[in-house]
Amino acid sequence: MKIVSYNLNGIRAAIKKGLLEWITTENPDIICIQETKAQPEDVDLADFEEAGYSGHWYSAVKKGYSGVLTLTKTEPERVETGMGIQLYDNEGRVIRTDFPGFTLLNCYFPSGTSGDARQAVKMEFLDDFYEWIRELKDTKSQLIIAGDYNIAHTPNDIHDPIRNKNTSGFKPEERAWMDKWFASGFTDPFRKLHPEKTEYSWWSYRAAARARNKGWRIDYISVSDNLASSIKGLRHANEAIHSDHCPVVLEVG
């Protein structure tokens, strides 16, 4: 099975840049899209449906903001939206799909780059998400959690760790949360396969950052430890340029 996680920073713009053609070539079984910035009625998914995908949306109340969409070739046994916490659910941040043998979460973690207030929301989200997942694991032990975590975990995951040591997305408390997350029963497939390798999933639009490969690895597909032996590959599809992020492609079997 091939699972893609991709923050599109606007699905309508990405479609115009050839998203469907890339998906058709890559041919994943499931695509987890973050930051759709759209409502279901805003986007015609007919071409995606023709390619074999059904779409499950969770959009923000505020139009043109946030939102997640899971496209899948196999119909889920169950679809659930949200975490049961209104602040995050109004922003369309989490959609859950259950399949035989595993549960998939498509997540868009908050960013704290706009100021202290949103950084505080981000930290609250991290704590609430951690506890919510801990409870979910009591009934759904085989989990794959894909999305834009908005955190670079280690110095190998960011182009300038010294200068950015106190920047939102690489703050010590955020990195400590990632330490706790991966110690709580989850595996980072990229680090399992490539302990020291440096690759990125997001680049600023400024200063030709992508062309110079000055990026951050903030998009992850975490796999519960009981599924870690099924990991076959994890790559960052840098050739796909529909967004300021690139797709993360996980293969399991």
Catalytic residues: 148
Contact 249, 189 (CB under 8 A): no
Cβ-based neighbours of 145, under 8 Å, separated by 6 or more: 104, 105, 107, 133, 186, 220, 221, 222, 223
HSE-up of residue 149 (Cα within 13 Å, Cβ side): 27
CB burial readout 51-62, b (16+ within 10 A) else e: eebeebbbbbee
Contact 48, 27 (CB under 8 A): no
